[in-house]
Amino acid sequence: MAIVKMKRLHLLSLASDKEQMMKLLQRAGCVEITELDAELADPEWSSLVKRERAAVSNAKSKAAGVNTALDTLKKYAPEKSGLFILRKEIREDTFCDADYRTSTLESAAVINDCSRQISQVSSQKNRLGSQRIGLLPWSSLDVDLSLRETESTRIVFGVCPAAVSLEEIQATIGKNGLSAACFHASSDKEQHYLLLVYHKEEEAAVTETLRTFSFNPTALKDIEGSAASNIKMIDTEIAELDRKKEELEAKITSYSCFRSDLQVCSDQMVQELAIEEARSRLVTTGTLVYLKGWVPAPDVHMLEAELHNFECAMEILEPGEEDIPPTELRNKKLIQSMDMVTEMYSLPGYGGIDPNPLIFPFFTIFYGMMFGDVAYGIILIILSQIVIRKFKPKGVLGNILQLATICGASAAVWGFLSGSIFGDAVSVVAEQFLGFEDFVLYVPVLDPLTDPLKILYLSVIMGAVQLFVGMCIHIYMCFRDGHPLDALFDVGSWWLLFAGIAVFVIKGTPFVLFTGIAALILTQGRAKKGIPAKLLGGIASLYNITSWLGDILSYTRLMALMLATTVIASVVNILGSLPGNIFAFLVIFVFGHTFNMGINVIGTYVHTARLQYLEYFSKFYVSGGRPFKPLKYHTKYVDIVSEDGEVKG
């Protein structure tokens, strides 16, 4: 198929039935509900209707709560899981069971409450730990830390730099005849911890004397008893907090049996949130609700059947002139794998053309050529199919793996044509370890190591073919849209120029070449105003010859990447054979080819996509489409199965 034709939907139902209506629409999965901002801006509309109240915040809160509970379980009760999620099937009626959802939300609340308590316990432990660290320097003193004075003396806890001599402090106090005593509590790399006792009447003199030693009082507030007794109490509290934390962690772990239920509930909350967000786009009179949206033309009959027993008024119309319908691409499974490639660039505009069938042959052929190796291709097929069959991924990941399978097959074919099986591994093993001389498994059709020019010519020819197809598509679109002259001028003129270049090179006759140049000068500036501007625009278009040359040369990357894959593989085999030991060879072989395959899987995709985006699409593609986003099931952990066995979503 191509870009799916869209129909404008208007739906009116009783406000009391809106819950059922939203669930029916979600189950149908073919209606995108659009905003009604323009209608609400109309005074006539705004006097009759208002926006439907939706509990979006509440739905988000519940969804976040379930996901937080799952993250908490993953932290305290981890389970073995791979890179991909193994989705399980669940019946639609079970999935929509509100009671099942309520009980699971209660479990999530318990887990989250335990997690909050653990956070509080950790905060308390950190606070107590900080207090303990602050008390440790004073633990050698059997003094009440709250004591600040007696009837005639003052007691001060303080510190001074570690470079200061304690004996010098004592000597200075004695030399000045002060009624004071300095007791050493402890020291570390930075400072001494001191207890100073002096007569109140000599406070000014003591303070002035100790200032020369950079003595600073330390605040020990709200602490009663000795440091040692306080440390003992803190240790007891920390031990109690550790015990409480262990109990909370054990309680969380005991809920690991609900992990599967929480995963189902997480998907349920996603559906509830989707419904609430869609409901926020409805308007109501109090007794009726109204929605406006889009439905694909092929799904109209299915929607009518879904709403057959539901009391509502529905109108299906063609898009208006002011409407910009969303874009949905529908193709067979093989072509659908290209969705990811197209969406990474931009969806086509609604009035454009579906590029997926048009890039599929070129993408797979180019990818296979650059990645060309029989073994690499087979490994790519096997790995992709293992993941597809075991995990049944959907969406982008499913398309990636399906595309990897197809590209793997293409790579295996190109690898056979170029004689690459792990590079030249067969010949290396046969000659180095099996005793064969000058072993050749078969003579390849294309050998990038011995005849790179043939690969280069082939790359340029394939590029020219793709660009020619792109121009033909441009011609088709011009005729489809009623602009045949644009096709003649914009494409025909360039074809005439290229034909002229070929005739001039082969026969030396410049007539056709000059005719092509004249056609470009006379037609490419036709959109400008005034004859001088038109001629200048046409002359300036001749500069685009360099763009065409650049496009053609860009396809030489097909040869370059093919050569790189083969050369790196061959270098790995040479390095592996140098020790002359089969075990060393296998280690280097596995590591080297894994590395080569890994970097080229990604690099080849990037270069193949680039050829489609910059060279091919520039000839015909009209981007800027808005994706079609219907209200439908979107799940991460489960596949929803309807009563007739169909997997929904």
Instruction: Tell me the per-residue pLDDT of 436-492, one tens digit each, with 9 for 90 and over.
Output: 888 888 889 998 988 999 999 999 999 999 999 999 999 999 999 899 999 999 999
Mean pLDDT of 9-22: 92
Sign of the torsion angle spanned by Cα atoms 275, 276, 281, 286? positive
pLDDT at 559: 95
Cβ atoms of 308 and 302 closer than 8 Å: no
- Reported as type and span, the H/E element at residue 364 is helix 356-370
Burial of residue 414 (number of CB atoms within 10 Å: 0-12, 13-18, 19+): buried
CA 392, CA 495: separation in Å to the nearest integer? Answer: 47
CA 509 to chain centre: 56
Res. 102: pLDDT tops 80 = yes
* Residues 6+ positions from 289 with CB-CB distance below 8 Å: 12, 13, 14, 15, 18, 21, 52, 282, 283
> Exposed e or buried b for every residue in 474-506, given b needs 16+ CB within 10 A?
bbebbeeeeeeebbebbbbbbebbbebeebeee
Mean pLDDT of 131-152: 91
DSSP annotation of 16 = G
pLDDT at 25: 93
DSSP states along 384-395: HHHHHHHH---H
> Exposed e or buried b for every residue in 578-588, given b needs 16+ CB within 10 A?
eeeeeeebeeb
If DSSP codes are grouped into helix, strand and coil, which group holds residue 178? coil
CA 133, CA 220: separation in Å to the nearest integer? Answer: 13
**Local confidence band at 649 (pLDDT 50, 70, 90 cut-offs):** low
Q: In this structure, which long-range contacts are made by residues 490-494, counting pairs with CB atoms below 8 Å and at least 24 apart in sequence?
A: 490/523, 490/524, 492/519, 493/519, 493/520, 493/523, 493/524, 494/520, 494/548
Res. 1: pLDDT tops 80 = no
Cβ atoms of 346 and 609 closer than 8 Å: no
Mean pLDDT of 297-309: 91
Res. 13: pLDDT tops 80 = yes
354-412 confidence digits (pLDDT tens): 999 999 999 999 999 999 999 999 999 999 999 999 888 888 899 999 999 999 999 99
Q: Which residue has the higher pLDDT, 417 or 526?
A: 417
202-249 confidence digits (pLDDT tens): 999 999 999 999 999 988 888 889 999 999 999 999 999 999 999 999
Tokens of 48: 């009759």
pTM for the model: 0.82
Q: Select from 56, 26, 17, 42 the least CA-distant residue to 289.
A: 17
Res. 170: pLDDT tops 80 = yes
Cβ atoms of 85 and 636 closer than 8 Å: yes
Sign of the torsion angle spanned by Cα atoms 423, 424, 426, 429? negative
Task: Give me the residue label for tokens 């039935």.
Answer: 17
Beta bridge partners of 73: none
Q: Select from 219, 217, 230, 224 the least CA-distant residue to 145.
A: 224
pLDDT at 313: 92
* Residues 6+ positions from 146 with CB-CB distance below 8 Å: 220, 223, 224, 225
Mean pLDDT of 508-536: 87
Res. 599: pLDDT tops 80 = yes
pLDDT at 642: 83
Mean residue pLDDT of the chain comes to 91
Helices 557-577 and 452-480 meet at what angle, rounded to 10? 150
First-to-final CA distance of the chain: 20
Neighbours of 155 (CB within 10 A): 15
316-352 confidence digits (pLDDT tens): 999 988 899 999 999 998 899 999 999 999 999 998 8
Q: Select from 636, 3, 583 the least CA-distant residue to 266.
A: 636
Tokens of 106: 């209660």
401-424 confidence digits (pLDDT tens): 999 999 999 999 999 999 999 999
Cβ atoms of 619 and 473 closer than 8 Å: yes
pLDDT at 93: 86
